[in-house]
Amino acid sequence: MGARSIIDGAPVPKRLQGMDAESINCVLEFLVSPLQAAVPQPTEVVLHDLQRIPNTVRAIAGVVTGRGIGDPPTDKLLERVAAGDLSHEIGYRSNLPDGRILQSTTIIYTDKDGRAAAALCLNTDVSAWTTMRASMDRFVLGHEILSQTQPSSANQQSIAMPLSGNGSEYFPHSVEDLSDRLIDAAITAVGIPVARMRKEHKVDVVAELNRRGFFMIKQAAETAAAALGVTRFTIYNYLNEVSDGPEDST
Least reliable range by pLDDT among 6-20, 173-187, 214-228: 6-20
| Domain range annotation of the chain | 5-125, 128-160, 175-242
Residue 125 has a pLDDT of 96
pLDDT tens figures, 169-213 = 999 999 999 999 999 999 999 999 999 999 999 999 999 999 999
Kindly tell me if the per-residue pLDDT of 166 is higher than 50: no
CATH class, range 5-125: alpha beta
| Angle formed by the axes of helices 220-228 and 175-190, nearest 10° | 50
Strands (E), the chain: 5-7, 43-49, 57-61, 88-95, 101-110, 116-125
Q: Residue 145's pLDDT band (boundaries 50, 70, 90)?
A: low
Q: Residue 15's pLDDT band (boundaries 50, 70, 90)?
A: low
Q: Can you tell me the mean pLDDT for 64-68?
A: 97
Least reliable range by pLDDT among 109-123, 136-150, 179-193: 136-150
CA distance 173 to 188: 22
